[in-house]
Each structure stands twice: as C-alpha cells, then as structure tokens.
C-alpha cells in the first residue's frame, strides 16, 4: 500500500507510525485510518518488530481526532460512520506488541482516544489532552468513554467528556492517562529508551501479557460496535451537524436550537 497520510518507518525493532497531516493538526480522515490499519498489521506480522510508536508530525499536534473539514453528517469513507476508526482502535489493541503513544502536542477528541487505547503514553510537557465530541456534535461511544473510565476513573472520565476541557500533560500524568512527561526536546530520547527496554524482553511473554490485560475490557468492543449504529443516526441530525458547521465557521455551536 502506498501511504499518503502517514509516514511508516522501521528501525532497531521499533515501528513508527506518524500521522502526517500537520495542516489539519493530524486529524484523521478515512484514508488515514486505512493506512494506520495497514501499518499496524504489517508491524504485527513482522518478527523483527517488538514495539510500535504512534505519533503525529510536527510539534503542534499528536492527533486532533476526526477531520472536521470532512465531517458533515458522516466521514464519507468505509465503515458504519464512514470512518473505520473502530478498526484502528481494534488493531492497536489486537496486535501482539505494545503500542506507545508519543504525545508531541494536542491529543484532542479521537486523538485522546488513541492515547487511551495505546498500551503506554509518553508526553511532551507541551502536550494538551482532552475530549471534544459533545462540543462538535460527536461522541466515541466505546473505548473512548468506557475504557477512559477504567484508565482515569469514572468521575474524571465523565468530567472529561461532559465539559470538554483541555488538560496539561502534568494533569494527564496525575490522572494516569500518560506514563511519563518529559521536556519537549527530550521526547524522542525518552520514547527510544522505553522502546529499547521493551525490545530486549521476551516477545512472547509481552504478547501474552498484552492479550491478558485486554481480556478484562473486551466487552467494550462489542458495546462500541453496537453504539456506532446509534452514532450514525445521530450524525444524520441537525443537532450533530451544527457541531461540525460551527467548527468550520469558527463560531460557538447552538445545539439546543436543533435538539429534537
Ligand atoms: C486542537 C485545537 C484545540 C487547537 O486549537 P487552536 O486554537 O490552537 O488551533 P485552531 O483551532 O486554529 O486549529 C489549527 C488548524 O488546525 C485545524 N484543525 C484542528 N483540529 C482539526 C480537526 N479535528 N479536523 C480538521 N482540522 C482541524 C483547524 O481547522 C486550523 O486550521 P486553519 O486552516 O483554520 O488554520 C482545536 O483545533 C480543536 O479543538 N480541534 C477540533 C478537535 C475536534 O473537534 N476533534 C474531533 C472530535 S470527534 C472525534 O475525534 C472522534 C474520534 C473518534 O475516535 C471517534 C470514534 C468513534 C466514533 C466517533 C469518534 C469521533 O467523533
């Protein structure tokens, strides 16, 4: 597969998937998701690879979720909502290798969900994290909500989703959303250090540990798959469309005007 939206490299047992859409703050569209799934599967089957790093190009954003430039009642690609994002999430969970989020800047909306799903997360001190769905007429009704609650606790997860605030890297560390925070210019060295420590370990023991951690939250995948059909119906409403329109028009949304 020829990649347009990601950069995919492999070195020293480390596969790096970099979302390369800096003008959109590394927001993903359907094409980005297809490429991420392809690269994750390649890394899974490549026996020379022991760990995967997921990150964004540039120093502004890790990933800001679904591309709001294309979200106008649907994302126009494959899958229930025209964006096979649930397959990206499943691929991160299913590959038998740890996936480390290298959080180099904003991790907002679906970007924060990626951080939540990755096995580990290392953040720059410049990073900001948070959810945006209810601010732009969307919601991740699976891992993005339920797994987040497992990671940071129920009350905090509900705060993150209902208020759509942004949190500093240090706040994310305190709530257990990231494993470490380092000065921005030390991010790559720190990520490499963690990767090297993983690569020297027994790959089969690591794979068994990862699969075993996943078992406890596996029900969320089924629930999320079901809820994606409800989300598709929500995307067809004027209330949801108002979120995307307001973002593109750079104004405050007026959701209550359209609530049925
Ligand atoms: C990230 C921000 C907080 C940055 O704010 P700031 O003021 O610093 O910068 P700008 O707002 O001016 O943005 C700069 C530049 O980037 C473009 N951009 C940013 N984010 C996006 C985006 N998501 N899509 C497209 N383009 C984006 C922005 O338009 C500017 O471009 P210019 O050309 O005008 O310079 C702030 O940008 C922000 O809050 N961004 C939006 C975040 C957002 O709404 N994300 C989508 C939420 S929905 C979602 O992600 C989602 C994810 C999932 O995983 C799902 C799974 C299952 C179901 C649903 C899901 C879902 O809905």
The ipTM is: 0.97
pLDDT of 121 reads 99
Residue 92: its pLDDT value, please? 98
Provide φ and ψ at 95, rounded to 5°.
-65, 145
Residue 224 in domain = no
CB atoms within 10 A of CB 72: 14
Among candidate residues 162, 149, 62, the one with its CA nearest the CA of residue 107? 62
In a domain? residue 172: yes
pLDDT in tens, 8-54: 999 999 999 999 999 999 999 999 999 999 999 999 999 999 999 99
Verdict on whether the full-model pTM lies above 0.95: yes
Banded model confidence at residue 72, pLDDT cuts 50, 70, 90: low
Can you tell me the distance from the alpha carbon of 96 to that of 215, in angstroms, rounded to the nearest whole number?
A: 13
Residue 98 lies in a domain: yes
Quote the percentage of the chain above a pLDDT of 70: 98
Q: How many domains does the chain have?
A: 1
69 Cβ below 6 A of ligand 1: yes
Q: What is the pLDDT of residues 191-204, one digit of tens each?
A: 999 999 999 999 99
Which positions make up the binding site for substrate? 64-68, 75, 106-110, 138, 235, 250
CA–chain centroid gap for 126, Å, is: 18
Q: Is the CB of 88 under 6 A from ligand 1?
A: no
Beta-carbon contacts of 88 under 8 Å, excluding residues fewer than 6 positions away, are 28, 33, 36, 37, 40, 114
- Domain containing residue 76: 6-184
Q: Please state the rounded mean pLDDT for residues 59-84.
A: 88
Neighbours of 214 (CB within 10 A): 14
Answer yes or no: is pLDDT of 58 > 70.
yes
Asked if the structure places residue 247 within a domain, the reply is no
Inside any domain, residue 1: no
Round the average pLDDT of the chain to a whole number and report it.
Answer: 96
Query: Domain with 60 in it: what CATH number?
Result: 3.90.226.10
110 CA to middle of ligand 1, Å? 9
- 115 domain residue, yes or no: yes
Is the C-beta atom of 108 inside 6 A of ligand 1? Answer: yes
96 found inside a domain: yes
**What are the residues whose beta carbons fall under 8 Å from the beta carbon of 258, sequence distance 6 or more?**
237, 238, 239, 241, 242
Does 47 reside within a domain? yes
CA dist 187 and 122 (Å) reads 8
The tokens of 104 are what? 């180099």
């Amino acid at each position: 597969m020829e990649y347009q939206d990601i950069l995919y490299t492999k070195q020293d047992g480390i596969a790096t998937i970099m979302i390369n859409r800096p003008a959109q703050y590394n927001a993903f569209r359907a094409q980005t998701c297809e490429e991420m799934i392809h690269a994750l599967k390649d890394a899974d089957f490549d026996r020379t690879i022991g760990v995967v790093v997921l990150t964004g190009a540039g120093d502004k954003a890790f990933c800001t979720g679904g591309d709001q430039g294309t979200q106008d009642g649907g994302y126009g690609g494959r899958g229930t909502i025209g964006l096979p994002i649930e397959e990206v999430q499943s691929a991160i969970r299913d590959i038998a290798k740890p996936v480390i989020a290298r959080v180099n800047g904003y991790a907002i909306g679906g970007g924060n969900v990626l951080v939540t799903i990755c096995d580990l997360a290392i953040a720059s001190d410049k990073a900001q994290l948070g959810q945006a769905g209810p601010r732009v007429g969307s919601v991740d009704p699976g891992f993005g909500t339920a797994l987040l609650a497992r990671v940071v606790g129920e009350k905090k997860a509900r705060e993150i989703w209902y208020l759509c605030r942004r949190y500093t890297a240090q706040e994310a560390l305190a709530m257990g959303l990231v494993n470490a925070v380092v000065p921005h210019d030390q991010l790559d060295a720190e990520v490499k250090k963690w990767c090297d420590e993983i690569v020297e370990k027994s790959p089969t023991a690591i794979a068994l540990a990862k699969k075993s951690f996943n078992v406890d939250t596996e029900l969320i995948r089924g629930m999320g798959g079901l809820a994606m059909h409800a989300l598709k119906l929500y995307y067809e409403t004027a209330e949801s469309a108002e979120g995307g329109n307001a973002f593109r028009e750079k104004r405050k949304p007026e959701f209550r005007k359209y609530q049925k």
